[in-house]
Structure formats: structure tokens, C-alpha cells
Structure 1
Amino acid sequence: MSATVLRGLPRTVLRLHRTALIAWAAFVTVLVAVLVWTVRVTADDALREQEYCALHSRCNVLTTMAYADRIGYVGWFACYSFLAVAAFAGGALIGRELENGTVRLAWTQGVSPARWLAAKLAVPALAVTLGGIVLILAFRWGWGAHRSLMGDDWTFGDVFVARGPALVAYALCALAVGTLTALVLRRTLPAVGVSFVLMWLLNVVLEFNRSSLWPAVTRLSPTGIELPDSAWQVENGTIVDGRRTQNLADLTCDGTAARVRSCLHDAGVSGYYAVHHPASHFWPLHLVETGIVLAVAAAATTAAFRLLRHRTA
């Protein structure tokens, strides 16, 4: 009997939230379609425009800009889709049933609270995982199809997340955090707002500290440092009396090269330094952030089950 009920739970969740599932599928489909249309249809015009501009001092770059903008918009929507997942989990998925009391009916039909919550989480988790994988693969293809038309923007927050499994990790974390928030507050609208804000704060904190998630590379030079365009520069400055100094606003050295060198020497400047992440650091940084987000998701999920068990014991 219980096995039959358990098999029926996923169907019930699908039936209750089919509108949200359809909306998610449509969202993924539209973003993929935009990528395909941009790369397959508009890229040729952008490439011709780029070639023309390479040979002429005055030219129009609107097509090239539009190409990069569309790819960028897709990355932005894909990255921050976890905010919608958090609002859905806090509201329609869990909060509404707790506020209306309809969950009690399910618990009297031979479904334990733990099984109810497991089914509530498993079905949307599968949906966001599959949709997220599709978005990651599509965005990586679109972002890398014509790199000359795009900037070296792997450090941008949305691009950074959308190019790898962090996109799925944020969605799963949003699902867990929204569920926990709904169980704590048991009110739909407050749970929606708090879930949204908590996930937004998590993303802001991790993005602010992203450069510290993996050891950066430090380069030293007595004459100056020029980093490649793809490098993520974290810090740079001068070496004065053997110490790194970022601000030398009061130092002004003008004149010939010899006079400038003499001026810098008198000020104690012995060289320059730059702390940066090369493009090869994308995966270490990305995977560390993914692990942190998944750890938060696991903690929130564990707390949700424990809270539910405590309140229904």
C-alpha cells in the first residue's frame, strides 16, 4: 500500500505544479532558441561587419553589439533563474500548502510527512537539474561559437555561473532554501520574499569573494606588467622599499625616461606587481563555488527534514 502511495506522490506533485513545469520548460526552450537563432542566423552579418571595421576607420558595429548583447541576456536569465526557483519553492511548492492546511489531508492518506517532503523536493529538483544541464550546454556552445564577437568576459557574474554546474547548484540550493523558509514561516508571501532575498544574498556574498576561492597568481617585474585580456586582475601596484603598495597618488615623475627612472628610484620604487587569475583558473574557482552552494543546499535540506519531523512528531 505504502509503495503504491509513494509511486503516486510524484504524479500528484506533477499534477499540482504542471503550470510551473510548463513555464520552466518554455523558459529553457526560449533561451536555447535565442542562442540558436543568434549563432546560426545573425553571426554571419556580425562577422562581415567586424571584417569591414578592421579595414575602415569609420564603421557601424550595431550588429556585432546586438550579437554579444543577446548572448549576454541569455546568460543573465539563465544565471539568475535560481531566484525564481527560490520564490516558487517558498510559495507555491511548500508555503501555500502549509498556509492553507491542505498538507494535513495528504498526511492522513497514508503518506508520512517525510515522504511528502521528499516527493515535493525530488520532482522539481529533477526538473531544474535537467533544464539546467540543457542551459549550460547551450550557453557554453553559444558563448564560445564566435569568440571574436564576444569580449573576454568569463569573469562576469552571470557568465561565470552559466558556463558550468554552478547554475544547477544554485537552482537546487534555491529549492532547498525556499523549502526551509516556508517550513519556518508557514506563510506564503513572507516565505517567497525571504527565500528570494536569502538566495540573492548568498549569490552576492560568493560573487564578492569569488576571487579568493582559489589562490591567485602573482607576477613581479622591475619595469611594468601587461596581463593578457583574458586575465582577471585582482590587485596591482608598485613595490616600494620591498613592500607592495597600491596607491602612490602623491608621486609624480615626469620628463625623460632617465629622469622618470631616477625619480622612481629616489622614491624607493623597485618594481611592479600584479595579482590575477588566468583564464585557466575558471574551473577551480567555479567548482569551489559549486561545492559551497551544494553544501548550503544539503544543510538546508537536512534542516528542513528535521524541522518537519520535529513539528509533526
Structure 2
Amino acid sequence: MTALTAAAAPAARPAPHRGGPLRAVLRTHRAALVLWLAALAVAAVALIWLHSLGDEARQGMSACSTPPTHRLPSCAAVEAITADETYANGIAVIASLLSWAMFPVAAWAGGALTGRELESGTAQLAWTQSLHPLRWLAVKLAAPAALLTAGTGGLVLLNIRARGDGDPDLVGDWYNPDAFVSTGPVAVAYALAGLALGALAGLVWRRALPAAGTALAASLLLHHLLERHREDLWPTVSRFAPGSIDLPRSVLQVTWDTSMPHGVGISHATFHPPSHFWPLQYVESGLLLAVAGTATAAAFLLLARRLP
């Protein structure tokens, strides 16, 4: 009797290995992981190389004299230095790549991370194998979020170091859109917002192609709105002066006008000085993280409501 009872009893399920769902995510999206790591490696090597060109590039931008003096080098010697052009172009390319990283991230998150798996039934299969749908989504988001934060943050730090003293003649003014995004936490926040918007689009459509398109469109709209209204995210500085006002190049001019009270010309300028870089970074990063958090919460709520 005891033997029959023991034989009839269902076999105990083996304890799941720790990190099983995480390994499954990395294995499923191995191609994207390899591409991301390769892109990080190439960008890191490029930034280290650009950093090594920095001093020579700055020499190429220095003042010169013909004939040379004891203070200034010969202009012929300075013009022969081509590192400044190579350096400036390289910095510009890296800045653009960091600034626009959210778009491929959003399209991938919508099309492959969630949309394709729901469309093909891979997600539903995972749910039947003792992996709760909400846990499935948590792992799906946590793994790429950690990789995006570490990778993008590391490249931003390397980019800041490669830019050296930030000479605007070489690397562009701090307020230029690509330069601004690629030199602060905004770059990471954009990537995370793209990930969350893509995941939400995948859950809404449950089909890869429409989800990728929707995620890309939402990211473009978000990027456009923040870039257009960036100067409004922090109070500007005002300056009044008789006649005209000469502002330094390193300030972001917002408005400039001249009035004629009592026949005397008074100029009024509002602008952001370089010291506003970090307040603008923090406010924009906060808005992006709020978008990411809202999209993530909406994704979990939508998935929970669809559960039986």
C-alpha cells in the first residue's frame, strides 16, 4: 500500500535554478546583446583614441604668427596639424550616436523584446512554465535597463573625458543638442525612456512591426518636445544695458530685444549661462525618468488586467 501510494504521488518539481529567467532573456536576445556590447567596445576605443588626440587638436586651434614670434608658433606649422579636424569630427559622431540611441532601443523593445514574443506565443509558453507574467515582464525590463544604464553611462563619462576642456571651436557649444545630451545623465534617461515606451507599445499591439513603429514615433515626439522646450526647463538670466549687449559665445541666448524709452535705446537679453548646464540636465533627466516610470507602470497594469 505504501509503495502504491508513493508511486501514485506526483514527482516533485525540481527547484528552479537561480537566475533562470534572466539567462533565458539573455539567450533569447543574444544577437541584440552581442551587437550592444560590440557597439560599446567600438565607441569606447574610439573615445580613448580621441582623448589621445586632444592635446594635438588643441594645438591646431591655437593662435599663430607669420613670421613666428617667441610667443606664437608659425601659422604654416599650425595649419599642417590635421588632428583638430579628425578630433572634432570624431567627437561630433560620438555625440550624435549617444543622443539618438533611444530610437533603436525603443524600436527593439517594442518589436523584439515584447511584441514579437507575444505575437509568436513565446511569452505565453514561458508563462505556462511556472514563470508569472508580471515576473516575466520585470525580468524583460530589468536586464536591458541595467545594460543600458551601465553602457550608456560609461560612454558618457568617456565622452566627457575625451572632450577635455570643452573648447567650443573643437567640440561645439555646451547647449548644442547633441553635445548637451551626450555629456550628462540625460543620455541614460533617454535610453531608459525608449526602453519603457517600446515595452509598453509591444504589450499594447502584441505584434512586432506595429509595436516597433509606435515606439519609434513616441520616442521621436518625446525627443522633439524636450529639445524644443529645453531652454524653458530652468529660469533664464536677464541683462539690461544701454545700446547693444555683447554676450559671450558660451551662453545660450533665448531672447534679445531693444526698446526706446525716452529716446534712449535699452537692450534686454535673456540667456542661460554655462552654469545652467547641470540644472537643465537634472530637470530633463527627471522628466524622462518620469516618462519611463509612467510607461513601465502602464505596461505592468495592462498586463495584469489581461490576466485571467
User: How many residues are paired up?
Assistant: 286
Partner of 1:74: 94
Under a length normalisation based on structure 2, what TM-score does the superposition of the two structures give?
0.87
Amino acid at match of 1:83: F
Superposition deviation, residue 3 in structure 1:
7.8
Superposition deviation, residue 49 in structure 1:
2.9
Superposition deviation, residue 110 in structure 1:
0.7
Map 1:16-165; keep pairs closer than 5 Å.
16-40=28-52, 42-51=53-62, 54-56=64-66, 59=79, 62-145=82-165, 147=167, 150-165=170-185
Q: 2:187 aligns with which of 149, 167, 180?
A: 167
Partner of 1:191: 211
Question: Please, which runs of 5 or more residues in structure 1 have no aligned partner?
Answer: 242-264
Question: CA 1:80/1:2 → structure 2, altered by over 3 Å: closer, same or farther?
Answer: farther
> How many angstroms apart in 2 are the aligned matches of 1:107 and 1:35?
43
3-state SS in 2 of match to 1:153: coil
Q: Deviations over 1:157-209 (max 9, x none)?
A: 11111111111111111111000001111111111111111111101100100
3-state SS in 1 of match to 2:64: helix
Q: 1:14 aligns with which of 23, 26, 35?
A: 26
2:51, 2:163 within 8 Å by CA — same for their partners in 1?
no
Map 1:205-224; keep pairs closer than 5 Å.
205-224=225-244
> How many angstroms apart in 2 are the aligned matches of 1:21 and 1:202?
25
Partner of 2:282: 287
Superposition deviation, residue 44 in structure 1:
4.7
Question: CA 1:148/1:172 → structure 2, altered by over 3 Å: closer, same or farther?
Answer: closer
Amino acid at match of 2:300: F
Amino acid at match of 1:237: D
Question: Please, which runs of 5 or more residues in structure 2 have no aligned partner?
Answer: 1-12, 67-74
Under a length normalisation based on structure 1, what TM-score does the superposition of the two structures give?
0.85
Partner of 1:255: none
> How many angstroms apart in 1 are the aligned matches of 2:172 and 2:96?
16
Q: 1:306 aligns with which of 279, 289, 301?
A: 301
Amino acid at match of 2:208: T
3-state SS in 1 of match to 2:259: strand
1:50, 1:61 within 8 Å by CA — same for their partners in 2?
no
Report the aligned-residue RMSD.
2.1
> How many angstroms apart in 1 are the aligned matches of 2:176 and 2:245?
23
Relative contact order, higher structure (CA 8 A, sep 6+): 1
> How many angstroms apart in 2 are the aligned matches of 1:213 and 1:146?
23
Amino acid at match of 2:36: W
Superposition deviation, residue 66 in structure 1:
2.5
Amino acid at match of 1:55: S
1:114, 1:305 within 8 Å by CA — same for their partners in 2?
yes
